[in-house]
């Protein structure tokens, strides 16, 4: 905190006051440990989202705590919804004022740590400069009288006539983009090409008469209407159609050939038929001759087996009679 003091004559307005004498009261803590780069956004007049970086000389385990207050609050409030991503601290808290107006009290912030070694950081911000509307939702497209009618939902948290909208669209050519600014939540584009595909997106911005913020909402999801085919779809059709035709032709030729064989079978050659007939007869006669020869040989072998051995035996009594004689 800085203080300045000067003196002047109480009853003599013609005299000049003295020079200012300045003095400063430094906060406690090590220099370079205070939080830096405080940034806050008031989303859709519903909640405040603040981010900051740790001090260059602060340790990695420093736990900063954010407090805020404004005229109308009896005591300061503490933010409790913390998160951290890539070294950036974040805290969000609900923020609403008793009366919706274009004049809001200044919000004061204090970011500090419980340790006395961490120097606190103080900041004051005008909330009207931090307003960011919500993204328009439920964007609908319809064709009416040769044109295109675009409509979207309005925000319930903003006063009437405190928002305006930007509509951006193109008809297939990404290099040619048209932008329209409107006060209402609907717009009509007349005389559109029925054979073209139109793509739309919408965003909201606060009116300067209500808020001094230059922040705009995020663009809505792109919506399209029309019959123009996508380039990727056309490429797929160009590749797929010839392939289908070629496969169908091959299948058709195969079945036509089989159908031709069934309807008009080939006429057999008489010479081939006679040749096959006589050839079969000769083969049969040869096979029969072979069979007869084989049977005859078997028969001879059997006879030989049966009659080849004849045994003769002379009785002993006959021999004895011969000897006696």
Q: Which domains does the chain show, CATH number per domain?
A: 2-132 (2.60.40.10), 140-225 (2.60.40.10), 231-281 (no CATH)
- Spell 214-226 as b/e; 16+ CB within 10 A means b: eebbeebeebebb
Query: Does the pLDDT of residue 168 top 80, yes or no?
Result: yes
Query: CA angle 223-229-233, nearest 5°?
Result: 105
Q: Which residue has the higher pLDDT, 142 or 196?
A: 142
Rounded Cα distance, 229 and 213, in Å: 41
Query: CA angle 240-242-247, nearest 5°?
Result: 95
Name the most confidently modeled range: 8-12, 252-256, 265-269, 306-310.
Answer: 8-12
Residue 145 to residues 48, 58, 152, Cα–Cα distance (Å): 44, 65, 20
Query: Does the pLDDT of residue 21 top 90, yes or no?
Result: yes
- The band of 12, judged by pLDDT with boundaries at 50, 70 and 90, is confident
pLDDT value, residue 262: 62
Query: Does the pLDDT of residue 30 top 50, yes or no?
Result: yes
* Start-end of H helices in 222-269: 231-263
- The band of 103, judged by pLDDT with boundaries at 50, 70 and 90, is confident
């Amino acid at each position: 905190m800085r203080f300045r003091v000067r003196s002047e004559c109480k009853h003599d307005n013609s005299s000049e006051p003295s020079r200012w004498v300045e003095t400063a009261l430094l906060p406690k803590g090590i220099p370079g440990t205070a939080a830096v780069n405080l940034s806050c956004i008031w989303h859709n007049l519903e909640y405040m989202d603040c981010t900051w970086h740790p001090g260059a000389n602060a340790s990695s385990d420093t736990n900063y705590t954010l407090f805020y207050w404004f005229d109308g609050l009896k005591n300061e409030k503490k933010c409790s919804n913390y998160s951290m991503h890539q070294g950036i601290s974040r805290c969000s808290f609900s923020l609403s004022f008793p009366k919706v107006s274009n004049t809001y009290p200044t919000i004061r912030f204090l970011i500090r740590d419980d340790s006395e070694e961490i120097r606190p950081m103080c900041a004051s911000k005008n909330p009207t400069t931090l307003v960011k509307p919500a993204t328009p939702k439920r964007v609908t497209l319809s064709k009416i009288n040769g044109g295109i009618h675009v409509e979207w939902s309005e925000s319930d948290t903003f006063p009437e006539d405190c928002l305006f909208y930007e509509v951006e669209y193109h008809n297939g050519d990404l290099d040619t983009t048209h932008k329209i600014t409107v006060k209402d939540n609907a717009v009509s584009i007349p005389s559109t090409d029925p054979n073209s595909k139109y793509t739309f997106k919408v965003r909201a911005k606060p009116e300067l008469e209500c808020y001094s913020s230059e922040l705009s909402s995020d663009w809505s999801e792109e919506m399209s209407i029309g019959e123009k085919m996508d380039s990727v779809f056309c490429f797929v059709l160009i590749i797929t159609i010839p392939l289908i035709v070629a496969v169908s032709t091959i299948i058709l030729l195969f079945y036509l050939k089989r159908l031709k064989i069934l309807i008009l079978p080939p006429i057999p050659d008489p010479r081939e038929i006679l040749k096959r007939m006589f050839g079969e007869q000769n083969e049969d006669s040869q096979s029969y001759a072979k069979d007869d020869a084989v049977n005859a040989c078997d028969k001879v072998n059997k006879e030989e087996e049966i009659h080849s051995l004849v045994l003769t035996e002379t009785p002993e009594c006959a021999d004895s009679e011969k000897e006696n004689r």
